Amino acid sequence: MTGGSPLLELRSLRKHYPIAPDFWGRPTSTVHAMDDVSLTLRAGETLSVVGESGCGKSTLGKTVVRLHEPTSGEILLNGERVDAISGQALKTFRSKVQIIFQDPFSSLNPRHTVGAMLAEPIRNFAIASAKSEIDERIASLLDMVGLPKDAAQRYPHQFSGGQRQRIAIARALAANPQLIVCDEAVSALDVSVKAQIVNLLQDIQRKMGLSLLFISHDLAIVEHLTHRIAVMYLGKVVEEGERRAIFGSPQHPYTRALLSAVPVVAAAEKRQRILLRGDIPSPVKPPSGCRFHTRCPFATERCGSEVPELRPVGSDHRIACHFDLPESAVGSHAAV
C-alpha cells in the first residue's frame, strides 16, 4: 500500500448523457452513466475501477481526463479544481494526466511514424524544442517501453498489437505525466502479451512514481497490479478498499458475485459461483433506492426505496449497502 498524498480527488462526480431528442431537439431521456462518484487516488498508487460492461467505469476514466465534461461534481488534481478549466490551464492539465485506450491501432495515426507521434507531445508541452533533444527523448521513451531505436521510423501497421500498445504507453509518457488512465489497456491483447504490458506498467510506475487509474473487467489482472479497488455497478461505486480487503473479504453482494467468477488455481481453494438473477437494468431509468436491489439475493423493501451511502466497514474499506452480510456468503478467496 502506498502512503502518498492525494493526487486525484473526485467529489460527487456525475455524467449524464441526454438522448432521444424531440421535434425541437430537446432531450426526452437521460443516460445516467455515472452518479455521485467520490474517489481518491494517491501519488504513486494504482487504483483499479472494475465492474461489468456498462457500469460506467470507462465514462469515469474519460471524464477524469476531460474527454467528457462532467454533468456535476468536482475533479481535483493536486488539490486544485480542474473540472471547469480551459485554455492554457487545460493544456497544462493534459500534460499531467494522460490516457491509454483499449485499441492501440485505432488510437494511433496510421499516417504518422512512431517518431512523429512521440515528437508531437514533446513539442506541445515544451518538454524539448531542439531536434537533437527531441530525438534523444524519443529514443529514451522507446527504450523505456522495450522497443528498438529504429521503431521511430516505422508506422503503426508494421507492429504487433502488443508493440502498438507499447507505443501508446510511450506516447502517454512523452508528456511527463503524473497520472495515466488505462482504459481497458490490456483487454484486447493475448494472455502472454497482456502479462508483459502489465509488468511494463508496474516497472514504469516504480521508476517514475506515476499514479495509475486502471479500468478493467479482468479481476485476475487487477489482483496482480493494483493497490486499491473501486467496484462500480450501474454508474455508482458500491465498494472501495485496499486490494487485500476486497479480494480477501468482499462485503458487497455484487463484489462477491464478481469475485466468484474469477478462476482459482490453487486446488485447496474452493469457491461457489454466485449467479445473479435478471439482467442489468437500463441506465436510462435506473432502479430507485439501491441500484443493485433488483438482482440482489439479500434485498429487502428498504433497498428499493432508500439509497445506501458508502460507509466504512474497516480501515480504508467502504461499501454502499444497508446491511452487514454474513461471512459465510463471501465464498473462499485467499488474500494476496
Q: Quick one: 255 and 226 in the same domain? A: no
Q: Quick one: 10 and 59 in the same domain? A: yes
What is the Cα–Cα distance from 264 to 243, expressed in whole angstroms? 17
What are the tens digits of pLDDT across the range 8-59? 999 999 999 998 877 787 888 999 999 999 999 999 999 999 999 999 999 9
Q: Quick one: 181 and 263 in the same domain? A: no
Q: State which H helix or E strand residue 52 sits in.
A: none
What is the Cα–Cα distance from 201 to 203, expressed in whole angstroms? 5
What are the tens digits of pLDDT across the range 138-183? 999 999 999 999 999 999 999 999 999 999 999 999 999 999 999 9
Query: Is position 241 within any domain?
Result: no
Q: Quick one: 209 and 304 in the same domain? A: no
Taking Cα atoms as reference points, which of 34, 35, 46 lies closest to residue 8? 46
Question: Residue 202 half-sphere exposure, CB side, CA atoms within 13 Å?
Answer: 13
Q: Given a cut of 60, is residue 117 above it in pLDDT?
A: yes
Query: Is position 311 within any domain?
Result: yes
Q: What are residue 281's phi and psi, to 5 degrees?
A: -60, 165
Q: Quick one: 285 and 178 in the same domain? A: no
Taking Cα atoms as reference points, which of 60, 53, 36 lies closest to residue 308? 36
What are the tens digits of pLDDT across the range 223-274? 999 999 999 999 999 999 999 999 999 999 999 999 988 876 654 566 677 8
What are the tens digits of pLDDT across the range 206-228? 999 999 999 999 999 999 999 99
Query: Is position 244 within any domain?
Result: no
Cell matching residue 9: 480527488
Q: Quick one: 308 and 173 in the same domain? A: no
Q: What are residue 153's phi and psi, to 5 degrees?
A: -95, 0
Apex 179 CA angle, 233 and 147, nearest 5: 110
Amino acid at 200: L
What is the residue range of 87's domain? 6-233
**Are 335 and 222 in contact, with CB atoms under 8 Å apart?**
no
